[in-house]
Each structure stands twice: as C-alpha cells, then as structure tokens.
Structure 1
Amino acid sequence: MTKERERKTVLVLGGTGKTGRRIVERLQGSGMPVRVGSRSAAEPFDWADRATWAPVLQGVGSVYVSYYPDLAVPGAPESVGAFTELAVASGVSRLVLLSGRGEDEARASERLVQSAGVEWTILRSSWFSQNFSEDYLLEPVLGGEVVLPVGNVPEPFVDVDDIAEVAVAALIEDGHAGQVYELTGPRLLTFAEAIAEISTATGRRIDFVQVPPDDYAAALTAEGTPPGVVELLMYLFTTVLDGRNSHLGDGVQRALGRAPRDFADYATDTAATGIWDKGQTS
C-alpha cells in the first residue's frame, strides 16, 4: 500500500449492511480512515439521490461499491456507471465491486467499473450464509419452517466474513487489482441441506418446504412485500438458482491463501449467539 493511499479515506457503500459493516469494522481495526456510505450516516449516501454522492467522495482513495438492492434490478448499471465516473473524477484510484455470481445483468456494471481507468477488483459472491440469520430468512428459521420456491439445486453458500476479509484486502493491499474473485464456500448444499444443518446446530426441528414459484410470489404479495422486491426474489430463486452456480469458486483461496469457511461452522457459531433461539417450535 502506498503512503498516498494510507492517508486517504476508504468509502464503504452499504456500510451498515451485511458485508459493509464487517468491512468497516476491519478497516477501523487496522487504523484506516473509513467513511460509512449509508442513508443513516452523518453525511448520508443514497443510490436514489445523486446529490448525496459527491460529498461522501471528498478525500476518498478507495471505494467498496455495494449496490442496493441488487445489481440485477433495472437501472443498476446506469447508477453504478454514473457513480464510478464521479468517483474517478473525484480522485478515487481503486474500486472494489460486490457483484452477483451467475447474475448476467450484473456483468454490465462489472464492465463499467473495469473500464473506469483506475484499479478495480470484482467480488462475484454466491448466496450469503448470513441470509439465514441477518435477513428475510431469519423469521422463517425462527418459526421452524422455511418455505421457498427452490428445489434440489446445490449452492456453494459463502460466509459474509470471508467476503469482508477479501474486500478489505482488495481495498488496502497490493496484488488484487484486475482480479475477478469467485467467492464461494468449500462445498455445495441444497437449501434443504442447509436448513438441516441449522436444525442440527440449534437442536430443534426446522423444516424446509418447497412451493411453486407462483404460490411463493402470491404469498409475498399478500404479506405486503413491495412488487420490486417480489420480482427480485423471484429472479434470484427461479433464475440464478437454476444450477448455473452449482460449482465451487477459488476466490477466497486466491485472495487470502486459505480455505473458505464452511457452512457448518457458520451454523454452529451463529446458533451459539442465540439469535435462532426465539420462537422455538417442537
């Protein structure tokens, strides 16, 4: 890392989210100056409000780019491209993009970052293990029944802590520029198998139930889920989870020189926190 980069702030977009807050914690622990990019920050950042972009880029040398809600949604490449252009014009010299593994729509955003004229690293990540404990799948796990429109399709669930560690390395270390890292766990699991491992770790019964996609979409709509979120979830479950990602990547090994964290370790450690203890069913 150059002396110039040591002095410059690292901007973490989505800095309060699953990957972002872990990156912020690690950067702060290393003594790096960090700026959290979120709507709730003192200097707010909002992907939907371009007037918030320039202020958070002042004095920034590197940026972790995490697009909300997903690079697959309409308009994502245009927003990422505009932000990238502004970032480079503001003096940013390194960009690290969180991308979706197997999401063809995300490739347009990747290309815009890759052609920005500065150092870049792409993190193509598989399904987050932490979706079962820090996102929309937490409540079903607590309720003892996880209902999803996905069948016997293996997925190499990746631990978010691995993503964060790779991101930090790419943001502040040398040797990661120009790399596309496919970030996965060390083995393939179906959703039913993942739920079974969580059940074992918690010591209580948690069932997995497969339902037709139309029924799942109807249930989400009935619960008041916004149409855009329903559309995104249906895309992820019925298109991205079609088997295209049923193979392992070596991004964690290449970036960190170690094996990725196993889902069983995630389940055991998460169960020990007590987050899955509420609302137990027998």
Structure 2
Amino acid sequence: MTNNENVNGKNINLVIGGTGKTGRRVAERLVQRGVPARAVSRNSEIAFDWHKPETWGPALEGVRAAYLTYAPDLADPAAAPAIREFAARAVDAGVERLVLLSGRGEEETHPSEEAVKASGAQWTIVRCAWFMQNFSEDFLLEPVLGGELVLPAGEVPEPFVDLGDVADVVVAALLDDGHAGRTYELSGPRLLTFHDATAAITAASGREVRYVPVTAEQFAEVAGEHLPPEIVELFTDLFTRILDGRNAFLVDGVQEALGRAPRDFSDFAREAAAEGAWKQ
C-alpha cells in the first residue's frame, strides 16, 4: 500500500502498526479518502519501533493526528511508560489528536489510556475485545482450516466485533470533530459462543468446523507441543481471563461513533468465505 503523504504543514495521519490487523485497514481507508497517511512499522520505509525511541521523531514529522497500537499488547507493563513518553513527544512535535486502540475489560490497559488522556492532545480511546477476523486471518485460522477449535473458552458468549467497524471508528476519530474526549467500547450486534461462531463459519464456508472446549491445563499442554512457552502463556491467559464473562454484554460504541449498527458475524463469515479465507 502506498502512503499519500504531504509534509507541507501538519497534515499527515500517522498509523502505528500500519501492517497490523487494524492499522492496515485504517491506513487503507485514509488513502481511499485522499487523506495524507503514513503507515509505519518496524519494517516500513520510515521505520517505527516502540522499543527504539530514536525512531519516533522521523515518524512524527509533519503529523497532525496519530493512531496508536502497541505491540505485543497494551496490557504489557512496558506499554504505559512508552505510550506516555511517545504522547508527550507527539504533542511537542505539534500532533493535535491521538487515538488509542485499547482492550475491553482489561484493567492493565488503563495506565496507557490515562497517559494519552494526560498528554494535552485531543484524545479518543477505542476499546475492543475479540475480532471476528481472528477466525479468518489470525491465530485461529489454522485450527479452523483443520476443522477443530480446541480452546479453553467454555461456553461464555462474546460480542465479536468486525475489524471494518473498528477501522471506521478510528478514521472518524482521526478526521472528524465530535470524538475528542470520548471512550468508545465496540462490540458486534449479538453475543455468540464459540459453538455459535464455528456453526456460522460452517454454514458460510461449507467446511465443517467444530469447537471443542478444554481446560486451561489441557490447552497449555497441547499448545506447548508447537508454540513457544511465552506464546502459550499469553494465549492461556487470554482465553481464561478475558473470556471469563466480563465482556458478555453488548455495547453501543459503533452506533455512537458512526450512527449505524455494527456488522453481524454471519455477514463477516459469508464475505470471508466468498473471498477464500477458509480454502486450503
């Protein structure tokens, strides 16, 4: 994807994590609207690395608004200090707006949120939990292709949110008035268990996919056979802590930000299947 930058004045919208799930979609939408965008990552032409503050200055040159995503996860203890320092440097560089992707139901992300709020910039927080696209382009894709999701998620329902909705909210917060000082919590229009989600994928793709609930210990044992210990720990924590029912209710962030209803999981599944997401 080509950025359409304009460094004459503070016109550029910075997208950190520009090759990631949300950042890629945000950058694409900005470019489609003819808005100057700079999508950065560790491997971009203008490189950006949260662990290398010397990369921040070049990324901030000519920037008026910035979308912040933190890798590996905003709940990481290292996130808040980095976000705080970056936000201060961004404001000093003339950045007017900061939009932060945060985790829904994750208290560990609150220090990073507070750092953005205290920066002096116009701020918007976008809180999300599980993305629908985790099933089609992320760590659940391989198990879906294998026909079986073995996860320690029990029967807790989750209001899966579409990444297109997330990107639309972020772009609105970057470009439009009326979103400063708002915290948007995003969800889809209905609650689904992983049984429901795999049934929808089966119906849309014609590929039989079933969900097999297991204990956290069973999951860690199986995952440990082909994943590094730190990844196994991250996934086990993700399933057992975030999917404990804390997010098992709907919220109106998409409607509040965009004036429309969020996308349904069945629509996502049909489109993903039509695009060949689940063809081997």
> SS of the counterpart of 1:62?
strand
Equivalent residue, structure 1, for 2:262? 260
Establish whether residue 215 from structure 1 lines up as the match of residue 229 from structure 2.
no
Is structure 2 residue 126 aligned with structure 1 residue 123? Answer: yes
* Pair 226,10 (structure 1): closer, same or farther in 2 beyond 3 Å: farther
Query: Which residue of the partner structure matches residue 151 of structure 2?
Result: 148
1:57 Cα deviation after fit: 0.6
Shift of 1:6: 8.8
Give 3-state SS (helix, strand or coil) of 1:141's partner. Answer: helix
Show CA shifts across 1:58-112 (max 9, x none): 1111000011111112211111111111111111110000000001101111111
- 2:278 aligns with 276
Query: Aligned-pair distance for 1:226?
Result: 4.8
Number of the residue aligned with 2:39:
36
State the distance in 2 between where 1:131 and 1:209 align: 17
Q: 1:158 and 1:89 mapped to 2: Cα distance?
A: 34
Residues 184-212 of structure 1 show CA distances to partners (whole Å, capped at 9, x for unaligned) of 00000011111111011111211111111
- Asked whether the equivalents of residues 9 and 61 of structure 1 are also in contact (C-alpha less than 8 Å), the reply is yes
Contact 1:147–1:211 (CA<8 Å) still a contact in 2?
yes
Identity fraction in percent = 55
- The separation in 1 between residues aligned to 2:116 and 2:179, in whole angstroms, is 15
2:266 is aligned with 1:242 = no
Find the aligned partners of 1:147 and 1:60 in 2 and give their Cα distance: 44
User: Which residue of the partner structure matches residue 24 of structure 1?
Assistant: 27
Offset at residue 52 of structure 1 (A) = 1.1
My pick for the range that moved more, 205-214 or 152-161, is: 205-214
Q: For each residue in 1:111-130, what CA deviation from the matched residue of structure 2 results, as whole angstroms up to 9, or x when unmatched? A: 11111111000001121000
> Where do residues 7-156 of structure 1 align in structure 2 (5 Å cutoff)?
8-156=11-159
Is 1:233 aligned to 2:235, yes or no?
yes
SS at match of 1:274: coil
Name the aligned partner's letter for residue 175 of structure 1: G
TM norm structure 2:
0.95
| Letter in structure 1 aligned against 2:182 | Q
1:177 aligned to which of 170, 177, 180: 180
Question: Between Structure 1 and Structure 2, how many residues are aligned?
Answer: 274
User: How far apart, in 1, do the equivalents of 2:57 and 2:221 lie?
Assistant: 40
- The match for 2:3 is none
Change (3 A) 1:80 1:65: same
Give secondary structure in 2 for the equivalent of 1:181: strand
Counterpart-to-counterpart distance in 1, 2:118 and 2:91: 11
Q: Are the equivalent residues in 1 in contact too, given 2:49–2:56 (CA < 8 A)? A: yes
Pick closer, same or farther for the CA change 1:236–1:114 going to 2, 3 Å: same
SS at match of 1:222: coil
1:164 Cα deviation after fit:
0.3
What's the Cα RMSD here? 1.5
Moved over 6 A (4+): none
Q: 1:218 to 1:79 in 2, by over 3 A?
A: farther
8 Å Cα contact 1:73/1:232 also seen in 2? no
Contact 1:124-1:180 within 8 A present in 2 as well: yes
